[in-house]
Structure 1
Amino acid sequence: MREERRTKRTKHLLWRWRSNPLRRHDDIVEAWTVLAVWTVIALGGTIVGVLTSEVADDSFTQQRSERHAVEAVLVESTPDAALTGRGTMSDQVLATVRWTASNGSARTGQALVHMGQEAGSKVVVWLDDTGQLTREPQSAADAAVEAAVLGTGAAVAFGGMVYGTGRVVRWRLDQRRYDQWGREWEQTGPQWRRKTT
């Protein structure tokens, strides 16, 4: 009984490939389109997701290797609380800082520092390879999470594009079938009307 049910289910899933006098060429094209779309989504989505994740992780690793922390002094006091442009609270604010460059010269610039600090306080700022102020690089754990999110997003976007393309192809096949049915009905309809009147 169980084997019979499994056989019926398999036949139901593969109905488009079975020999059938009512099967049209468009049915075969649609069957292959569905198979191709899901195969490309599964394999291509995986490849796109993994590659995107690896590229993002490499970029974050490069950022960590190019940026380094230096000690700086706050030139101005920072407020106790700051409202960001989006209406949410932030624990960091832009402030003017002074630090000593690798060649010994004094440099000043704007950097993100924690709020509630007095002028003259020592803070840590981040510099890139050219000695310019930059943001703190992400930790390895944060970078791994963001790379995974980016990879997942890329896989979903790729899958959505492929699925959308498949839907367009199936829609066109449906339109062709409707047109074909309309032409066939134009030929058959008058014969039926004569028989019923």
Structure 2
Amino acid sequence: MAFRGRGVARVWLWRWRRGPLRRRVDTVECWVLLGAWLLTVLVGVCAGLTAAHSVAERLARERAEWRPTTARLAGRAPGEAGAGTVAGERVWSKARWTGPDGSAHSGQLRVRPGSPAGTPVTVWTDRRGRLVAEPATASEARLNASVVGGLAGLSAAAVPLLAGRAARCRLEQRRLDQWDVDWARFDALRGWRTG
């Protein structure tokens, strides 16, 4: 082995090489590591793609089913309209609208302070006429699906990664225990005492 700087040069794939010091636990460890890495990638990718597809599908369904409709204020909105109000300030006021099936609905909406009765307000409703938030645009849906898919993939990939790490720590402890037994046997053969 060549020396580099302060340390020893790294030997790639050393666990796979044959040698007099290689033990069965070394071979098991290399297979455990390989399996853990493959499972980490596979589980992460599958979970991420599944979550992203599910979110994208749900948001596409919302865009297809939710429709804008016009609601009318049932009474004058509380507050005073004018110079004293903050730009973008909204207050709750009762409004009425007709659902896609023709049924009448009413509920509370956020409107500008002091809006008169009968003021039209655009709201989004589902198929039953219930109020819903404005659906995400196609680009917002892609971003949302990507973020959720990425987080789900990373979370799912952590499980086999941590399990592989735990198995590797256990194998490392077993290897050190075997070295202790072998050193004790060597000491007994030579009449030395190393520990």
TM range (shorter): 0.7 to 0.9
Candidates 165, 168, 188, aligned match of 1:167: 165
Structure 1: how far apart are the matches of 2:92 and 2:162? 44
Cα contact 1:67–1:129 (8 A) shared by 2: yes
Structure 1 unaligned segments of length 5 or more: list them: 1-8, 82-89
Matches of 2:89 and 2:147, distance apart in 1:
25
Instruction: Show the counterpart of 2:121.
Output: 123
Partner of 1:157: 155
Q: 8 Å contact 1:97–1:109 — kept in the other structure?
A: yes
What does residue 136 of structure 2 align with? 138
- Distance (whole Å) between structure 1 residues aligned to residue 90 and residue 22 of structure 2: 67
Amino acid at match of 2:151: G
**Can you list the C-alpha shifts for 1:70-123, whole angstroms capped at 9, x where unaligned?**
100234526656xxxxxxxx9766543211234555421134x35546243321
Aligned residue runs from structure 1 range 177-188, under 5 A: 177-188=175-186
What TM-score do the two structures reach when normalised by structure 2? 0.76
SS of match in other structure, 1:12: coil
TM-score between both structures, scaled by the size of structure 1: 0.75
Paired residues, number: 177
Whole-angstrom CA distance in 1 between matches of 2:77 and 2:66: 26
Unaligned runs of 5+ in 2: 1-8, 80-84
Counterpart Cα distance in 1 of 2:132 and 2:44: 34
CA RMSD across the alignment: 3.0
1:134-153 Cα distance to aligned partner (Å, 9 max, x none): 22211111111100111111
Query: Does 1:74 find its partner at 2:73?
Result: yes
- Deviation digits for residues 20-57 of structure 1, max 9, x if unmatched? 11011111111112222222223332222222211110
Bigger helix fraction: 1
In structure 2, do the counterparts of structure 1 residues 25 and 95 end up closer, same or farther at CA, with 3 Å as the change threshold?
farther
Q: Does 1:54 align with 2:57?
A: no
- Secondary structure of 2:18's counterpart equals coil
1:153 aligned counterpart, secondary structure:
helix
Tell me the residue number matched to 1:21. 20
Secondary structure in structure 2 of the residue aligned to 1:22: coil
SS in 1 for 2:193: helix
Residues 39 and 101 (structure 1 numbering): CA distance in 2 closer, same or farther, change over 3 Å? closer
